[in-house]
Structures are given as structure tokens and as C-alpha cells.
Amino acid sequence: MDMANAYSSWIAKNFPKAHIVFDHFHVVKLMNEKLDKIRRRVVGQLDETQKKQFKGLRFIFLQNHEDLCEDARDILRNIREQFKPLGDAWLFKESLRSIYANSNSSYHARIAFHRWCAMAEQSGVPELKQMASTIRDKLDGIVTFWTFHHLTNASMEGFNNKIRWLIRQAYGFRDMEYFKLKIFQLPEISCVKEI
């Protein structure tokens, strides 16, 4: 599940023996949101000429390091030198991703997350401190990802997106039984618009 308090509180109340697994996608997504908040704060402090130079660079910060072209890496390197909080936040995002890529067990992941949180708290960047606090608060559910062999809810979220697509295509359904039948038919339907 995602890290919303309402979900985990409801599960803890109604299924006290259940193991909660916070999907790694949602952890990295939350970090990307913090990074974007830092970017907006930094850009808000610039003059108009500098703001124009930053225009269109948002996705460079949100892309994964391995997906950046050489020009984007150069731009990022220059920005990191001039705007330390923003550069630090990008490095923290990448190091968070590397925990998921390199940890072999929940034990190693827990150690890596504790180290990550300690460094984020020492950074002095408010958004990174908030992220560290969230990770510490949700750590048991985050490391359970390794306990259950990289369990993720991606397929369920993909299917939910297909249901939302179906509702948009029909502009809503008045007959709930027909709607249920259409949901059962969804695995056979392509959501990609043919040209």
C-alpha cells in the first residue's frame, strides 16, 4: 500500500496480524515530491533571468541517473555546484533508489535506511528532514518489501487505472451490473488508442 496514515491505521485496527508492505514506488514518489518542492523553493528565490534558465529543467531532477543523457548530466552537475540544497536533494533521491537496487535483505535495507535518515537530518534541508522523519516512522512497513520478496501493488494499481479509463470512456455507468461485466472484460481490452 502507499504510506497514507488512513490505510495503515485501518489495516492495523481491522487486521492486527497483517504485515504492512509500503510499496517502494510510493517511497521514491514521496522523495520526488520533496525534491520538486525544494526545486520550486530555490527557483522562487531567483531573479527573472535565472528563472528562465531553470525553465524546463524540472524533469532532469525527477529522472533517474541512468536515464539522463550526457547534456542533462552536465546541466545537473552545474546546478548542483551552484545550488547546494537542490543538488544534495537529487543525490539523496538517487541514494534512496540505490537502497532498493542494492539491498539483499530487510536487515541490510534497515541499516541503509537508518544511515540515509541520519545523513538527511544532518543536511539541514527541511524537506529532507521531513522525508527522514517519514521513513523512520514507516520503516517497518518499508523494509517488509524485502521480507516478502519485493512485493509490490503495481499490477493492482495498473488494473485500477484501467477501471478509471473504462469509466472515462463511458462517461460513467448507470447500470452497476453492466459495469461489473465490463470490469471482468478489461483484461481483454487494450487501453492504448489506436492510430
114 with 19, same domain: the answer is: yes
pLDDT reading at 107 higher than 60: yes
Helices (H) and strands (E) in the chain, counts: 10, 0
Residues 74, 118, single domain; the answer is yes
Regarding whether 123 and 162 lie in a shared domain, the answer is no
Is 194 part of a structural domain of the chain?
no
Report the predicted TM-score, pTM, of the whole model to 2 decimal places: 0.76
What pLDDT digit, counting tens, does each position of 13-48 carry? 999 998 888 888 889 999 999 999 998 898 888 888
Residues 19 and 79 in one domain: yes
Q: Which long-range contacts (CB under 8 A, 24 or more apart) does 56-63 make?
A: 61/35, 61/36, 61/86, 61/89, 61/90, 61/93, 62/32, 62/35, 62/36
Does one domain contain both 159 and 131? no
130-188 per-position pLDDT tens digit: 999 999 999 999 999 898 877 777 667 777 778 888 888 777 777 888 888 888 888 77
Residues 6+ apart with CB under 8 A from 152: 23, 24, 25, 145
Q: Which segment of 1-5, 94-98, 109-113 scores lowest on mean pLDDT?
A: 1-5
The pLDDT value recorded for residue 173 is 75
pLDDT of residue 194 exceeding 70: no
What is the average pLDDT score of the chain? 85
Q: Average pLDDT, stretch 124-129?
A: 93
**From CA 6, how far away is CA 13, in angstroms rounded?**
11
Could you tell me if 55 and 81 lie in one domain?
A: yes
**How many angstroms from the chain centroid is the CA of residue 193?**
27
Distance CA 101, CA 150 (A): 11
* Boundaries of domain holding 166: 154-188
- Mean pLDDT, to the nearest integer, of 99-109? 93
The residue with greater pLDDT, 155 or 50, is 50
pLDDT over 70 at 53, yes or no: yes
Within this chain, do residues 110 and 170 fall inside the same structural domain, yes or no?
no
State how many domains the chain has.
2
User: Given 132, 147, 162, which residue is the final one in a domain?
Assistant: 147
d(CA 183, CA 154): 18
